[in-house]
Amino acid sequence: MPELDFVQRLAIWVLPVLFAVTLHEVAHGLAARRLGDRTAEMLGRLSLNPLRHIDPIGTIVVPLVLMLLPFGIIFGWAKPVPVNPHNFHDPRRGMAYVGIAGPLANLLMLLAWVVVVRLGTFVAPAAAFWGGVLVLTGVAGILINAVLMLFNLVPIPPLDGSRVLAGVAGPSTARVLARIEPYGLLIVVVLLISGVFQTVLAPLFGGLLAVVRPLTGLPVSALLAAAQTLHF
């Protein structure tokens, strides 16, 4: 894979990241609407326009700063989609369905980016440059959606996994998670900086890529080379 400078890597990542964040949030809103809550729809948050979901600090400033620092982590957030669980027949289980909708959207996007990689390998013999762009963009899409899906499934508030756990495990667990939530973001940041998240999620991430890699048609060496090329 060719060496890319910072601006080129950033350009490759922009589209996959915007899609991953936007559709993740829209999926939450669509699930809520399906269950009877139209709050997100009334506030215009079911739009595919990424500007409606971008948090200037969490989506732009924090990730860019982390890219330039030697921490080896990228972290950020979008504006959460507003949901009123009181509009659900069963608020606790309703929030569980809303919570899982985001990671499921990331899984579907991951598979869509697999198709982009296959298209790139098909185009490459006739148009090497555009084929390479498609492959790298597709690999970036696979990576960001895999990370977002696994990261959001961690059962720590305010991550989606906490909503799912509260809905599955019962009221007592939901109460414990509710008490933790005011400190949840701080807990997440500490676990990221300490490397605990990376240690726990790395085997799951590697296992997911091992399942996905044959679908891309890329050999392991090519997938690793693309990932290394995209690394900041």
Q: What are the tokens at 183?
A: 């400190």
In a domain, 1, yes or no: no
In a domain, 25, yes or no: yes
CA-wise closest residue to 86 among 46, 43, 37 = 37
In a domain, 54, yes or no: yes
In a domain, 105, yes or no: yes
Looking at residue 65, what is its pLDDT?
73
Domain span at residue 214 reads 6-230
For the full predicted model, state whether its pTM sits above 0.75.
Answer: yes
User: Poorest-confidence range of 23-32, 47-56, 108-117, 214-223?
Assistant: 47-56
Helix pair 128-152, 220-230: axis angle to 10 deg? 80
In a domain, 59, yes or no: yes
Distance CA 216, CA 53 (A): 30
Pick the catalytic residue from 3, 25, 41, 181: 25
Looking at residue 3, what is its pLDDT?
75
Looking at residue 70, what is its pLDDT?
56
For residue 25, indicate whether it is catalytic.
yes
Q: What are the tokens at 125?
A: 């013999």
Average pLDDT of the chain is 89
Counting the structural domains of the chain, the total is 1
Share of the chain above pLDDT 70, in %: 94
Map tokens 């989606």 to a residue: 160
Please write the tens of the pLDDT for every residue from 192-201. Answer: 888 888 899 9
